[in-house]
Structure formats: structure tokens, C-alpha cells
A = this chain, B = another copy of it.
């Protein structure tokens, strides 16, 4: 029940209304790995870092069952760096600086030991790199989940569409679903996107929860109402990691189990935003997760007598 995850391991500088950090560990692959490793071992990471990525962080990940054989370390360059500033609503972020550094040369190589993984999580990356990973796998995984972003819709739409043909689940936010489909209504957007390849579509709406579409079915998972969203960085990736982690743990890719997986992903994401960067993800244990899941049950559970 191994999971291959592909994504960035990087540094972030973040400013939110609650504070500011100059340089902390981040990257989609990092968040996915922290989240998924609560449920499944090994998490087989594919990424690229520079000489400056902390050894301690690597050790921490290894200690959680994350294999790093697929993480290339480039000795002469710095890790990918991104800085951003969130506004009070925490749904909009201004990207201030993007230093690709090692990411400019990223050419993911799937280690031989990763072959045969049943689950593949393609973090948000250049579509042709996502495709390259799919192509390198000799046996198609049972489930391929793909994240992407508006930038690739603007700069690499054809390649993005080619990857869409190969995946089972697409994860995007509401704005990206609208952009990709050309439809404002999310129901119509989902119908259009489900014709592009993926059998399942998850539309993330930040503090407003997430929707799962499949055939004519729709499921809604709320976000937990929080006192404060301290730092939303990595929440989407953490959601993805919790989602695929639960699916890999249970080895059940039915629509019913995907609903549960989305609740699990939402629960993990609700921890992520409580502190800067992945800090909170390192602190929580199985009991914390179970307690949070129980809050989600309370949050949406109701009795109705359908006469």
C-alpha cells in the first residue's frame, strides 16, 4: 500500500495578518508527505532540493516512514523559494518572489524501488513532469491523483490536458475549476472537467469546504470553522496528503470511501493552518486526528425524517 508523491520541497517566506516568517520549510511534496505519513508507510517521495535544504527536516520525514531515494539533492544550487503575503480573508495570496533555483532543472526520476506503488499523488508541478512520472511507472497505479494550478492552464494547457487523460482524480480550487472549464457554475464546471479525463473531481473552496464530483453524484465536505486561520500555506497539499493517505491505508477507491477520505483530508488541513508552515503537522498524533474527525462528524451530522 505504498504511495508515490511527487512535488516540491522548498522554502517559503510568509506574511499573514498574524505574523511573518522569513524562511521556513515548505513545498507541496513536503506537506503531502507529512499528511500522508499519518496513514501509510512508506510514502515514496520524488522531489528536488538544493544544498540548503535542512538535513534535520529530511531525518524527520524519514522517521515518519517517508522514503527519500527519489529526492535529488543538487549540491551547487539553492532550493526552490517562494514568498507570499496573505490578506485578511486568507483566500487571496500575493506571490512576491518566486526563485525557481533547483526547480528549473527538475527532471523527476522514479527509483526502481518505487515501482509497483498502488497510489500516485502528483503534486502541483509542470504538467510534463507529472506526465514523465506516469510514463516511468511500469504498472499503472490503482489510483492517480493530480493537483495543478491556474498558472499551468495559462502556460501549458495542452500538456495539462494530456495529463488529465491519464489521471483518476483531479484536485483544483473553485477559481481553477472555473478557468479550466470556462463555466462559472461549479456544477457545470464539474460536468465539463469530468469529460476531460478524471473520473473524480475535487473542488477545494478553502474555508468554505470542498466538493467531490463523480458521475452525477456530489458530496460536500465542510471546512472546520476555526477561531483563526493562522497560515493557510500548505493547506491544500495537506488536504491532498490526508486524502490519498486514507485511500492508500484502506485500499478502497470507491466513491463512498472517497467521501471519507475528503473528510480526513479536511481534518488534516484544519491542523495545518493553525501554525506557520508544517509545524503543526509535526506535533499532532493519531488521537488528535481522531478527535478532529469526531468534530467533523458533529459538525455535519443531522437527523431527518424523510416522509
- Cα of A208 to Cα of B300 in the assembled complex, Å: 14
User: Which chain B residue lies CB-closest to A246?
Assistant: B304
Is A55 among interface residues, defined by CB-CB distance under 8 A? no
Contact among B188, B264, B303 with A260 in the assembled complex (CB-CB below 8 Å): B303
User: Which chain B residue lies CB-closest to A227?
Assistant: B187
User: Which chain B residue lies CB-closest to A305?
Assistant: B260
Q: Of the listed stretches A22-30, A147-155, A211-219, name the one at the interface; the rest are far from the partner chain.
A: A211-219
- Please determine whether B220 and A299 come into contact, CB atoms closer than 8 angstroms: yes
- Cα of A209 to Cα of B211 in the assembled complex, Å: 13
User: Which chain B residue lies CB-closest to A190?
Assistant: B225
Contact among B185, B222, B256 with A226 in the assembled complex (CB-CB below 8 Å): B185
- Cα of A208 to Cα of B225 in the assembled complex, Å: 13
Please state the number of chain copies in the assembly.
2
- Please determine whether B256 and A299 come into contact, CB atoms closer than 8 angstroms: no
Contact among B185, B263, B303 with A227 in the assembled complex (CB-CB below 8 Å): B185
- Please determine whether B184 and A300 come into contact, CB atoms closer than 8 angstroms: no
- Cα of A219 to Cα of B299 in the assembled complex, Å: 5
User: Which chain B residue lies CB-closest to A89?
Assistant: B184
- Cα of A88 to Cα of B184 in the assembled complex, Å: 8
Total A residues in contact with B, Cβ cutoff 8 Å: 42
- Please determine whether A304 and B263 come into contact, CB atoms closer than 8 angstroms: yes
Is A251 among interface residues, defined by CB-CB distance under 8 A? no
- Cα of A98 to Cα of B296 in the assembled complex, Å: 43
Query: Main SS of the interface on chain A?
Result: mixed
Q: A177 to nearest B CB, angstroms?
A: 11
Q: A83 to nearest B CB, angstroms?
A: 23
Q: Taking A187-B227, A260-B303 as contacts, is the C-beta distance between A217 and B298 under 8 angstroms?
A: yes
Residues in B whose Cβ lies below 8 Å from that of A307: 286, 290
- Please determine whether B302 and A263 come into contact, CB atoms closer than 8 angstroms: yes
Residue among A188, A228, A263, A299 with max Cβ neighbours from chain B (10 Å): A299
Residues in B whose Cβ lies below 8 Å from that of A120: none
- Cα of A228 to Cα of B191 in the assembled complex, Å: 13
- Cα of A255 to Cα of B47 in the assembled complex, Å: 49
Is A294 among interface residues, defined by CB-CB distance under 8 A? yes
- Cα of A112 to Cα of B103 in the assembled complex, Å: 77
- Please determine whether A222 and B220 come into contact, CB atoms closer than 8 angstroms: yes
A and B contact pairs by CB, cutoff 8 A, 19 listed: A88-B184, A185-B227, A185-B228, A187-B226, A208-B208, A209-B220, A211-B225, A218-B225, A219-B298, A219-B302, A220-B299, A220-B300, A259-B303, A260-B303, A263-B304, A286-B307, A293-B306, A294-B306, A296-B304
